[in-house]
Amino acid sequence: MIKIDVKAGAAAKQRDDAVVLPLLDGRKLTESGRAFQQATGKVLPDFLRKFDISGAFSTSRTLYHVEGTYTQRVMLIGAGDERKLTLHGLRRLAATAARKLDKGGARDVSFYLPELNVRGASLPDKVQAVAEGVWLGLYAFEKYQTEKEENKRALRSVTIMISSRRDLGSAEGALANARAVSTGTNFARDLANEPGNVCTPEFLGEQAAALKHGKLKVTVMDKKAIEKAGFTALLAVNQGSAKEPRFIVLEYQGGKKGTAPVALVGKGLTFDAGGISIKPAAQMDEMKFDMCGSAAVLGIFKAAIEMNLPVNLLGVIASTENLLGSAAYKPGDIVTSYKGLTIEVQNTDAEGRIILSDALAYAAEQKPAEIIDFATLTGACVIALGSQASGLIGTGKKLKKGLKESGDHTHDRVWELPLYEEYQDQIKSKIADIRNIGGREAGTITAACFLSRFVDDIPWAHLDIAGTAWNMKGTDISPVGATGAGVRLVVDYLSRKGKF
């Protein structure tokens, strides 16, 4: 990631390749813009009168070699109506400006975006949002492109400008948080963007083990250890694959000794063909993203380590492929889970909940304070919520409230669906304890009903990230591919834990 720092200073005195100034609706300048105008005479008023830039959100125009300044160029970027501006708006503006300057040959630039007013946001909030926008917006997964155009004048550094040196301490703290969160998010993106022939269960285990830290213990179980431990549901889904499964446990001790941890449980389907209930061929390549739940867990741990978060965390990841080998599990099979509950398999493509049953039961056995699971679980959630919010279902009232507030704060948003007892009837089985599908109606909810059988009475939140974990169109802060959904959300929740 490029270098970002923070300092105070006037725009007209910066010697960077570019200075980025916000422009509000109606061609209104902010404080730094007005000071810049005073230092440079009539340049800005003349430019704004003659050129088509109104201040509409995300529009921009660039001036070159403005007399009275030391910078090569000045970018005016539209911030729109300041009354409607949000922290995510700042992220989007920072990402847009960074990408344009990266392509335009500016190497070192200064951003004056934090001086914009965002209702309810502090200066550190704004600094963090701007830094996240730059780091997340510039992310690219180009590992396998052997013929790519080299940008010899790529963006090298960004300085986030604030109005007073007295605020440098808090701003630098916010910048450190942004770096950790962005590192964790981009790590999750990298893992998910890897092809299925690279990102295998073994590879996931290696990536977890590589997160070395004095406060972290990582255990990676191979197939023999999994058999010995009794994770039979995971083994059932793995039967059709030549690749061995992995069961990964991470223990981070950042809080007080003896304090119950927050358990983070991730679905790690490194490729999902659907098994015997095979998926359609179209877009099956995207099923490499079916391990985004596990990527989120590992991304959160990476961020927590960098931030030195004062919490205890337990991470549990069940990982396998779901393929069609001669030994593959079949519709009609009865699988006995780690907890002892029997599962009637009616659709082998509803495998995520099956492997999560072992992971959740193991996590619950460790007596955590609460459990959050992450899974690209149901197409029904994509139909219900699209790509704008992850589905939230669970039993922990305070936990759900905290996740909703963190979702609004980070724009890694969630929307709660009900878990009424009546939905449990849909997963009743006539020949086993439960069946792994509940019919066409309320598919996201009945999947959560299945998971609820394995968490005991521990406060629990299930995040269905099927619609948010990857985006094949791209967004302002995420290119095509994996988004890192869940990382910013839960890191914020853990950072603010106890405030809800």
pLDDT in tens, 352-363: 999 999 999 999
Select 3-161's CATH number: 3.40.50.720, 1.10.40.50, 3.30.70.2740, 3.40.220.10.
3.40.220.10
For 420-488, give the DSSP string. -GGGGGGGB-SSSSEES---STTHHHHHHHHHHTTSTTS-EEEEE-TTTSEESS-BTTB-SEE--TTHH
From residue 103, alpha-carbon distances to 98, 106, 262, 420 in Å are: 9, 8, 42, 52
- Architecture of the domain delimited by 182-495: 3-Layer(aba) Sandwich (3.40)
272 has pLDDT over 60: yes
- Give the model's pLDDT for residue 500: 46
152 has pLDDT over 70: no
- Give the model's pLDDT for residue 499: 56
327 has pLDDT over 50: yes
Sorting pLDDT into bands at 50, 70 and 90, what band is 451? very high
47 has pLDDT over 90: no
> Does residue 1 or residue 222 have the better pLDDT?
222
Please compute the mean of the pLDDT values over residues 327-332 and round it to a whole number.
Answer: 98
Q: Which two tokens stand for residue 158?
A: 């960004």
365 has pLDDT over 50: yes
Please compute the mean of the pLDDT values over residues 187-210 and round it to a whole number.
Answer: 98
Query: Mean of the per-residue pLDDT values for the chain?
Result: 95
What's the CA gap between 281 and 299, in Å, rounded?
A: 30
For 412-423, the pLDDT digits (tens) are 999 999 999 999
- Give the model's pLDDT for residue 41: 83
Residues designated as active site = 279, 353
161 has pLDDT over 60: yes
Please compute the mean of the pLDDT values over residues 20-39 and round it to a whole number.
Answer: 92
Q: Which two tokens stand for residue 16?
A: 């960077």
- Give the model's pLDDT for residue 212: 87
DSSP 497: T
Residue type, 401: K
Residue type, 221: M
For 462-485, the pLDDT digits (tens) are 999 999 999 999 999 999 999 999
Ordered by start, the domain boundaries in the chain are 3-161, 182-495
Please compute the mean of the pLDDT values over residues 71-81 and round it to a whole number.
Answer: 94
- Give the model's pLDDT for residue 79: 96
31-40, 47-56, 267-276, 289-298 — which is least confidently predicted? 47-56
